[in-house]
Structure 1
Amino acid sequence: MLGKLMKYEVKATGRTLIPLYLVLLAFAIINKIFIGTGLSHKLQGFGSIPFILSIFGYGCTMAAVFIVTFFIIIQRFYKNLLGDEGYLMNTLPVSTITNITSKLSIATFWTIISGIVAILSIIIMAFDPRAFGQFFSETFRALSEGYAKIGIQIYVIIIELLIAMIFQFVKFISMIYASISIGHIFSKHRILSSFGAFIILNLIAGAISSSIGIAFSSSRLPDLLRNIESLWPINLFLISITVFNIIFIIVYFIITSYILKNKLNLE
């Protein structure tokens, strides 16, 4: 059932996001044509208006991709589980945990895809065969030297870094869900209450993270990190970040699940 919910969620959200991605990439290609052919420098006066409009359209679409992604994350959770569609969702033979998991998984998926598309659009606009060839050759050379010096651990660290980033996204989204759920407990000013809950949860998470950072900086680990031969502190640091993010995710998930199960007050 989780797979069906996720498939439905992808279709519902993809109708809005995929066209935005295509428009962003189209603007990037158009701008690349202007820049690559030198038209951006040759056109003057009114002749430069198409290029200016294309750049403006690219900037607006780039902003829209992230704004709409963020809006959809909030709107899908609120509308499907706490709003008008909440009655229907709660009649389905699925658990609250399954509903939350489907929303969280697809929200994380689109957040990552939005970032990838944004980076791809920048690469298209800035693409230069020589520069990119040099960049990749230098990157592969650095990885080869790193592998020759410290072995497979160089790739392990890269994977750990990517995993830590993904869980950071999941933590942020789950914090949003918990904040919306807390705000929904109140009968009035739910949006304001949700915003206040988000600030409080963010402050708590920040305070805990700062405390951990202070403890880390006062230890011997920073000295060890300066020695590339001592890779276990880097692994420990990245794993610690991931573990703490997972703990936060579990806490936010429990808060959201408890409220949806026991304090649900549909509009």
Structure 2
Amino acid sequence: MTGKLLKYDLKSMLRNFIPLWAALVAVSIINYFTLHSLDQAKGVAQLPAMVAMLVYGSLVVAVMVVTAVLVIQRFYQGLLKDEGYLMFTLPVQPWQLLTSKLAAAVIVCLGSCIVGGISVMVIAFDSETYLTMFDAIGLAFRLYPGPIVAGCLAAIASGLCSITQIYVSLALGHLANKHRIGWAVGIYIAIHMVFSWLELAVSITIPVPLFQDATQYFLLLAGYYFLRAVLFFVVTERILSKKLNLE
């Protein structure tokens, strides 16, 4: 059943993302041609390249904003507002609903990052540059496999932590009778401040040599973010199970 929920959430989100992703790649292709003709262009002839780059920059910002907004909207509208009435009549547990929303959010965030990376590679397309870049990446993996893998795990765990922090803030804010969005924003800021102070205190007390091993550092970071994500997930699930107050 969780798979069916995920399919529904992804379908709902991707219908907004696919046109935006396609537009970003299309504009990056246009930028490739306009930028490579810039050397021969002078004066007004440079205007198309400037406009294309401006449109590309605007689309990059739009992708980031839409990603953040839809991650929040799918959770808020799907579980805490009108759609929540329908969702909670399904023969599934709250943790399955939450897992579906979280998995869909992670997938579209990764998708946006991948499409963004592809668009940059299209603009900077050059066979010699690509060969050099891939050689450098291969060398880095051969020399530093541990730090790279651990760093990727830390990045994924950080993303999970960020998304679940938004979820728990919205869920806690929804316990209020009035000004729920305002409460959610305040709770999000408070959570961020508390963990920032905690991180500062830990960084002061833990001996510096512990951070000289990059692999160990990134693994500790991944574990820390993962534990935070689990904490936020559990609290959110408990609120959805026991304290839910739909509008």
Q: Same fold (TM over 0.5)?
A: yes
Query: Partner of 2:169 in structure 1?
Result: 179
SS of 1:85's partner is helix
- TM-fit CA distance, 1:39: 4.1
- CA offsets, 1:216-242, max 9 Å, x none? 3x34324xx2xxxxxxx4332222112
- CA offsets, 1:87-117, max 9 Å, x none? 0000000000001111011101111111111
Aligned residue-pair number: 247
* Cα separation, 2, equivalents of 1:120 and 1:164: 22
Q: Which among 146, 149, 156 is matched to residue 166 of structure 1?
A: 156
Normalised by the length of structure 1, the TM-score is 0.87
* Cα separation, 2, equivalents of 1:234 and 1:165: 14
Q: Unaligned stretches of 5+ in structure 2? A: none
* Cα separation, 1, equivalents of 2:197 and 2:205: 12
* Counterparts of residues 91-240 of structure 1 (less than 5 Å): 91-144=89-142, 146=143, 154-216=144-206, 218-222=207-211, 225=212, 233-240=213-220
Q: Does 1:65 align with 2:63?
A: yes
Residues 132, 81 of structure 1: alpha-carbon distance in 2 compared, 3 angstrom cutoff: same
C-alpha contact (below 8 Å) 1:34/1:40 kept by paired residues: no
Residues 143, 90 of structure 1: alpha-carbon distance in 2 compared, 3 angstrom cutoff: closer
- TM-fit CA distance, 1:12: 0.5
Query: Partner of 1:151 in structure 2?
Result: none
* Cα separation, 1, equivalents of 2:42 and 2:49: 9
Look up the equivalent residue of 2:210 and give its one-letter code. L
Normalised by the length of structure 2, the TM-score is 0.93
Query: Partner of 2:232 in structure 1?
Result: 252
Look up the equivalent residue of 2:7 and give its one-letter code. K
C-alpha contact (below 8 Å) 2:28/2:119 kept by paired residues: yes
* Counterparts of residues 17-56 of structure 1 (less than 5 Å): 17-36=17-36, 38-39=37-38, 41-45=40-44, 47-56=45-54
Look up the equivalent residue of 2:220 and give its one-letter code. S
Q: Unaligned stretches of 5+ in structure 1? A: 147-153, 226-232
- TM-fit CA distance, 1:127: 1.9
* Cα separation, 1, equivalents of 2:110 and 2:30: 24
- CA offsets, 1:212-267, max 9 Å, x none? 22233x34324xx2xxxxxxx43322221121112111211122112112221111
* Cα separation, 2, equivalents of 1:142 and 1:157: 10
